[in-house]
Amino acid sequence: MGDILVVYNDSKTGIDEVLDYFNNAIHAMTFSIEKEIDNSINFLDITVHRSTENFSFSIYRKPTTTDTIILNDSCHPPEHKHASIYYIYNRMNSYQLSKSYKEQEYNKTYYVQQV
**Domains in the chain: how many in total?**
1
Q: Identify whether 67 is part of a domain.
A: yes
pLDDT of residue 6: 84
Q: Identify whether 57 is part of a domain.
A: yes
Q: Identify whether 14 is part of a domain.
A: no
pLDDT of residue 107: 82
Q: How many CB atoms neighbour CB 85 within 10 A? A: 14
Q: Identify whether 88 is part of a domain.
A: yes
Q: Identify whether 6 is part of a domain.
A: no
- Alpha-carbon gap, residue 32 to 22, rounded angstroms: 9
- Alpha-carbon gap, residue 68 to 9, rounded angstroms: 40
Mean pLDDT by 10 residues, the chain (115 residues): 80 87 88 90 92 89 79 86 83 87 80 52
Which domain does 82 fall in, by range? 36-114
Q: Identify whether 10 is part of a domain.
A: no
Q: Identify whether 26 is part of a domain.
A: no
- Alpha-carbon gap, residue 72 to 27, rounded angstroms: 51
Q: Identify whether 76 is part of a domain.
A: yes
Give kind and range of the element (H or E) at residue 21. helix 15-25
pLDDT of residue 38: 95
pLDDT of residue 111: 57
pLDDT of residue 24: 92
